[in-house]
Amino acid sequence: MDSSTKCIRIGTRGSLLARTQTDLIVTALQDLYPNLTLQITILKTSGDIHQDVPFNQVGTKGMFVKEIEQALLSGEIDLGVHSLKDMPSELPEGLQLTCTPEREDPRDALVSACGLPLAMLPLHAVVGTSSLRRKAQIRAFRPDIEVKDLRGNLDTRLRKLTEGDYTAIVLASAGLHRLGLRQKITEYLPVNLCLPAVGQGALALETRTDDLSTISLLAPLHHLETALAVNAERAFLRRLEGGCSVPAGAYAQIVGQEIYITGILANIDGSIVRKAQEKGSIHDSESLGIRLAERLLEMAGGSLPKG
């Protein structure tokens, strides 16, 4: 179908960050296809509804995407815009991750009320995050720190820091960048201290597998290097069969024709953080992620750590 006669209905969450990320995609599509009609539908997900419940107790790996995927499958929308780190490693039949735009900074960022980096925070400082992955790595680095649950949209989390509930909080730097809040960052946590979540910093554009016209229109936004890296990371998570309930992370980088991927698998209390790295050809990104997961599972005694 000609882009001048097509309307793409886009589904997104209603948070400020989700809408900002969707606006980036809308702008990119409008630049490519000035006559294309775009409609945005705001959908509330189970993750938005249950903001007072810890991530690992919400009960679904796809808590920020499920309702958007249902709208895709029902034909209510044509395109779902997600933070890739929110997407389960397995997609429903009939849907596909069609396009991965170029990745933003994947690192975690510390936002500190006192302006001090993680290593210099006061003894027994209270650090806010609901990510088990972040909790485990922070506790491994600073066992004295009290890690306290922190839920809510990005602006809500920043407000809770200002209100004095936390000494510092940890957020994805990509979200702060996209919202123009780079100046809030006290410290970028290096990946050797706090390995990111799978897909962190990347967006995921999801469509129906049979919607060939939308798939074709999205092709210019696809960034191959990002796609190869996150494909390895997602294969890692899929092999672990993990979601928010598993303290795991992975980060892949492309160097020439090779992929270097590092992964962690931790105990929830941070008492043990297992780390390993694999490298291989860019043509073997999926098998590379699987191999890394199997190495870490072997280090953990063949099963996912429970505590």
Is residue 25 within 8 Å of residue 203, measured between CB atoms?
yes
Distance CA 105, CA 103 (A): 7
Which residues are within 8 A (CB) of 5 and not within 5 positions of it... i.e. 6 or more apart? none
Please provide the size of the chain in residues.
307
Q: What are phi and psi of 130, to 5 degrees?
A: -105, 5
Crossing angle of helices 224-240 and 285-299, in 10° steps, is 30
Is residue 71 within 8 Å of residue 81, measured between CB atoms?
no
**Active site amino acids:** 86
By C-alpha distance, which of 11, 25, 76, 73 is closest to 217? 25
Distance CA 56, CA 89 (A): 16
Distance CA 72, CA 41 (A): 11
Distance CA 182, CA 302 (A): 41
Distance CA 147, CA 142 (A): 10
Is residue 34 within 8 Å of residue 27, measured between CB atoms?
no
Distance CA 72, CA 1 (A): 19
Q: Supply 206's token pair.
A: 């999801």
Q: What are phi and psi of 258, to 5 degrees?
A: -120, 150
First to last CA, the chain: 53
